[in-house]
Amino acid sequence: MDVSTPAPQPRKQAPDAGRRSERSRRAIFEAALALVGEVGYPKTTVEGIAARAGVGKQTIYRWWSSKGDVLLDAFLDLSAQAAAEAGATDGEPYAIPDTGDLAADLKAVLRATVDELRDPRFEAPSRALAAEGLVNEQVGREFVARLLEPQLQLYVDRLRAAQDGGQVRPEVDPRIALELFVSPLAQRWLQRTGPISYDYTDTLVDYALYGIAARPPAEPSPPARN
């Protein structure tokens, strides 16, 4: 796995997948994720990642300009792997299914997210990164913009399709609506405020779609749930 002999290319050139060794790339990602999970973001260094991956520091600097860049790519790769395992197609690794049944589609995606959150490969590095993002505004904003928000936009797309199909009220803002089921799961996982399960995420979807309020008192009898 040692590809540490520095090649004579200039640093920080544009990534060139063709020249990269897939094996060393994977070793670097795994080392970066393991390290940040073990010692936290501040103590993770490019030197430490290189040593653990069995590559030279220059190999990393040839492809990435900082530990933040390595970690961003490592997390994007991890998410792509999780999506691939969940059966996503190559072209759209995060696409949310559209079977016409919005509740079923959202529940399926959230169940897959529950599986991902329970994956031990994901746990420690994700917590370390999220923790750093809370106190380091630059890290937080970069990872939200490049990692989290693109995933949330897939829910926006799915909810817009549901609005077009008449399943979601037209005046609803999809970017806010998605938070009714995404944010509770995120908070339970991040802050350990409660257990996460398929039942739980199914319930979130039902509440978000149909509301928790009783139907208007003008109606004489309680209506069916949906």
- Residues interacting with a second copy, by CB under 8 A? 40, 102, 127-128, 130-135, 137, 140-141, 144, 148-149, 152, 159, 166-169, 171-173, 175-177, 179-180, 182-184, 186-188, 190-194, 200, 203-204, 207-214, 216-217, 222, 224-226
CB of 150 to a second copy, least distance (A): 12
In this structure, the number of other CB atoms found within 10 A of the CB of residue 88 comes to 17
User: Would you say 3 or 108 has its CB closer to a second copy?
Assistant: 108
User: Would you say 73 or 132 has its CB closer to a second copy?
Assistant: 132
> How many angstroms separate the CA atoms of 146 and 169, rounded?
29
CB of 90 to a second copy, least distance (A): 27
Q: In terms of residues, how long is the chain?
A: 226
> How many angstroms separate the CA atoms of 226 and 210, rounded?
7
CB of 11 to a second copy, least distance (A): 30
User: Would you say 51 or 152 has its CB closer to a second copy?
Assistant: 152
Residue type, 104: A
Q: Residue 112 corresponds to which tokens in the numbers above?
A: 């897959």
> How many angstroms separate the CA atoms of 8 and 24, rounded?
18
CB of 184 to a second copy, least distance (A): 4
Residue with tokens 């909810």: 159
Angle, CA of 81, 94 and 175, to the nearest 5° = 140
User: Would you say 55 or 108 has its CB closer to a second copy?
Assistant: 108
User: Would you say 62 or 107 has its CB closer to a second copy?
Assistant: 107
CB of 136 to a second copy, least distance (A): 9
Residue type, 86: A
CB of 198 to a second copy, least distance (A): 13
CA end-to-end span of the chain = 56
User: Would you say 13 or 197 has its CB closer to a second copy?
Assistant: 197
> How many angstroms separate the CA atoms of 37 and 41, rounded?
8
